[in-house]
Structure 1
Amino acid sequence: MAEKLCNHLTAIEEIKTAEGRVCEECVKIGGRWLHLRTCQECGVTLCCDSSPNRHATAHFHETGHPVVASAEPGEQWLWCYEDEQFAEY
């Protein structure tokens, strides 16, 4: 039986996509990133937890914005930090 999606994921009506192919915070500090995630509340694109600076998770902790979408080409999924749930779209 499939797990019911959390309210944060079901509230997403339109997927925000990355404006560019960079982590905005890594660019500011001269850092590097592996994969990118786009915040579904404010649209900022930041690096994933496999990247040295983990800016997407830090953004969640700082702002409380719970849902990110993969900003990687060919990937269509969402992750809710608060409820630790994954959903494809």
Structure 2
Amino acid sequence: MAIGQERVLTEIEKHARQARSGDSAKMRESVAAIRALCDLLLESDEQQPAAPAPRAIPLSASPAPQPVLSEKKLVEDGANGDSLFEF
């Protein structure tokens, strides 16, 4: 879903108002948000999608879970325990 340029510009204006009216910490947060929104705007101008965006795969189309195999211990000569590090 693409975000419209007007919406991004409106958000930039809102954060600019907050930066002017807030304290130093609020100003830094607002300026950081403005930077992120500007980057978003510039990226969307550079990357005009040639093909439509991929659609999400519905959850019902997910593969069926693999059945759990029975937990049958393998007994070998020379093995001395249940450790995973036994070779």
Higher RCO by CA contacts (8 Å cutoff, separation 6 or greater): 1
TM-score (norm 2): 0.20
In terms of Rg, which structure is larger? 2
User: Which has a greater percent of helix?
Assistant: 2
TM-score (norm 1): 0.19
User: Which has a greater percent of strand?
Assistant: 1
